Amino acid sequence: MTDIPRRAVSRTAKLAALPLGFAGRTVLGMGKRVTGLASDVISAEIQQRTAEQLFSVLGQLKGGAMKFGQALSVFEAALPEEIAAPYRQALTKLQEAAPPLPAATVHKVLAEQLGPDWRDRFVEFNDTPAAAASIGQVHRAVWRDPGYGPNGAPKHRDVAVKIQYPGAGDALLADLKQLSRLGGMFRAIQPGLDVKPLLVELRERITEELDYELEAESQRAFAAAYADDPEISIPEVLDASPRVLITEWVEGTPLAEIIRNGTEEQRDQAGRLMAELHLSAPMRAGLLHADPHPGNFRLLPDGRLGVIDFGAVARMPEGTPEPIGRIAGLAIRGDADGVVDGLRKEGFVSQTEPINAEALLEWLQPMLTPVADEEFRFTRAWLRAEATRLASPRSPSFQLSRQLNLPPAYLMIHRVTLGSIGVLCQLEAKAPYRAILERWLPGFAPVS
């Protein structure tokens, strides 16, 4: 296993080497052009080498690099197939794994956060982590519940103990600052991909994600909203401190495994439940689960969707903004003028700059295909086609999109929706998405 570069100088050097390698490959491409090699072959070769180096380095680092790699990995389905195919496995690993902390470091954190008698709270504690991610790792343990069960025996239950990496906050900030300089590399992999808004939004969430007591509060709110729900399961929080969180253990199949090897029935079930959670949570809990990468979800043996991470949550006490559903419905019904009026009022379109309403409607409608019909199957091919259509500088759609603006109030919703769509395309899940919108999205009236 590759050692984790923990010192700031080492981490910065690894990230700084990425654009240098990219520059070298670009020069190589220019040299090959002189020899007459086709430009599309050169481009594909540079893309592949860039992707290989990028994902290799992100996979070795914790902190912001790992967090960014996980966020980016949900967009894997939009990458060109010749790039996505060789690295799909590496991207999926970013969602599920990272090298673990030594047991001695784990014990030190537990003693600092839970007290020197922390072992007394557990019947068993497994020093080998069950999972590791960007800012923390999870250990399986048996919790010693106070009191006794019906038969007089002590109460025990399996739990997940999430432990934050020491220095995770500094690593996150340093990595995100460095990654903000790598926009050219991501454009080489996927032309038109702008990572800066994603990095800005991730930076804004760092403080919340580092506070496990705040995460516990969010998880308790979700658990209350979905108590006894027949389709979505939220584990109970048992204890929390700033850097340790203890919750019920969730036994199920990770979505990353279903993406790799799941049956069509499992894929469709997981996709439908992901959509239900994404759209219903703002209305039921006043919260939006804001980290939709597959590592945060399990398909339980009874068919429910288990949700296991609430570090990134957006507070939406008023629910999803009504204009989103209303404007989407107007677009599906072909009301071009109504769409423009709605977008102007919300700040998506300038109040004064003229815009071709029919052209704007034509630009929007393909994106709404998944909810225009009663059922839809998300696929990688559909997402790649949409990404190409929207990102090509030669297309009329691209020129039109330059007249649009994303208001700050909608940035989080936009990012989470795109991430969720990316997962649905990885699952290639078919479901009645329109009916889910009609049930949970304010303003989205039934489509006749």
pLDDT digits (tens, 9 = 90+) for 208-217: 788 999 999 9
Least confident piece of the model among 14-18, 144-148, 391-395: 14-18
Q: Note the pLDDT of residue 415.
A: 81
Return all residues near 33 (Cβ < 8 A) that are at least 6 apart. Answer: 39, 42
Per-residue pLDDT at 376 exceeds 70: yes
> Which range among 87-96, 177-186, 438-447 has the greatest average pLDDT?
438-447
For 104-112, which contacts have Cβ atoms below 8 Å and span 24 or more sequence positions? 105/166, 106/137, 106/139, 106/163, 109/163, 109/164, 109/166, 109/243, 109/244, 110/161, 110/163, 110/244, 112/243
| Range scoring the smallest mean pLDDT among 32-46, 150-164, 183-197, 404-418 | 32-46
pLDDT value, residue 339: 95
The whole-angstrom separation of Cα 440 and Cα 443 is 9
- Lowest pLDDT segment from 300-304, 376-380, 416-420: 416-420
81-101: b or e for each residue (b if 16 or more CB lie within 10 Å)?
Answer: eebbeebbebbbbbbbbbebb
Minimum mean pLDDT range among 97-106, 130-139, 313-322, 432-441: 97-106
Between strands 376-377 and 313-315, the pairing is unpaired
Mean pLDDT along residues 83-100: 52
Pick from 378, 365, 368: nearest CA to 431: 378
Task: Give the confidence band of 45 by pLDDT, cuts at 50, 70, 90.
Answer: low
Helix, coil or strand: residue 315: strand
At 150 the pLDDT is 67
- As a whole number, mean pLDDT of residues 394-400 equals 69
Per-residue confidence (pLDDT) for residue 361, from 0 to 100: 92
Mean pLDDT of the chain: 78
Handedness of CA 337, 343, 346, 348 (dihedral sign): negative
pLDDT at 292 over 50: yes
What is the rounded distance in angstroms from the CA atom of residue 216 to the CA atom of residue 212? 6
* pLDDT top residue among 345 and 57: 345
Residues 331, 335, 338, 344, Cα dihedral to 10°: 50
What are the structure tokens assigned to 113, written together? 């956060």
Distance (Å, whole) CA 94 – CA 105: 23
Can you give the three-state secondary structure of 141-189, one letter per residue? EEEEEEEECCCCCEEEEEEEEEEECCCHHHHHHHHHHHHCCCHHHHHHH
Residue 85 is predicted with a pLDDT of 53
Residue type, 224: A
Q: Is pLDDT above 70 for 133? A: no
Pairing of the two strands 376-377 and 253-254: unpaired
Lowest-pLDDT range of 305-319, 325-339, 393-407: 393-407
pLDDT at 265 > cutoff 70: yes
State residue 61's pLDDT score. Answer: 52
Q: Is residue 117 pLDDT above 70, yes or no? A: yes
Would you list the DSSP string of 111-141?
Answer: HHHH-TTGGGGEEEE-SS-SEE-SSEEEEEE
Residues 6+ apart with CB under 8 A from 34: none
pLDDT band with cut points at 50, 70 and 90 for residue 82: low
Model confidence band, residue 384 (pLDDT cutoffs 50, 70, 90): confident
Domain with CATH 1.10.510 in the chain: 232-315
Nearest CA to 159 out of 233, 243, 223, 249 is that of 249
Q: Determine the angle formed by the axes of helices 196-210 and 212-225, rounding to 10 degrees.
A: 90
Q: Side by side, which strands form the sheet with 253-254?
A: 232-233, 305-307, 297-299, 253-254
Provide the CA 370 distance to its chain's centre, in angstroms: 20
Percent with pLDDT over 90 in the chain: 47
**The predicted structure's pLDDT at residue 36:** 36
d(CA 170, CA 310): 21
Given a contact cutoff of 8 angstroms between Cβ atoms, the answer to whether 138 and 131 are in contact is yes
Return the CATH class of domain 232-315: mainly alpha
Interatomic CA distance for residues 274 and 271, integer angstroms: 5
Distances (CA, A) of 229 to 113, 232, 344, 396, 419: 33, 6, 39, 46, 24
* pLDDT, position 97: 47
**pLDDT tens column, 137-187:** 899 999 998 766 667 666 789 999 999 988 777 766 666 666 665 555 455
pLDDT of 195 strictly over 60: no
Tell me if residue 424 falls in helix, strand or coil: helix
Query: Does the structure show a pLDDT above 80 at 329?
Result: yes
Give the DSSP per-residue string, 327-388: HHHHHHTT-HHHHHHHHHHHTSB-SSS---HHHHHHHHGGGGHHHHSS-EE--HHHHHHHHH
> Which range (31-40, 122-131, 373-382) has the least confidence?
31-40
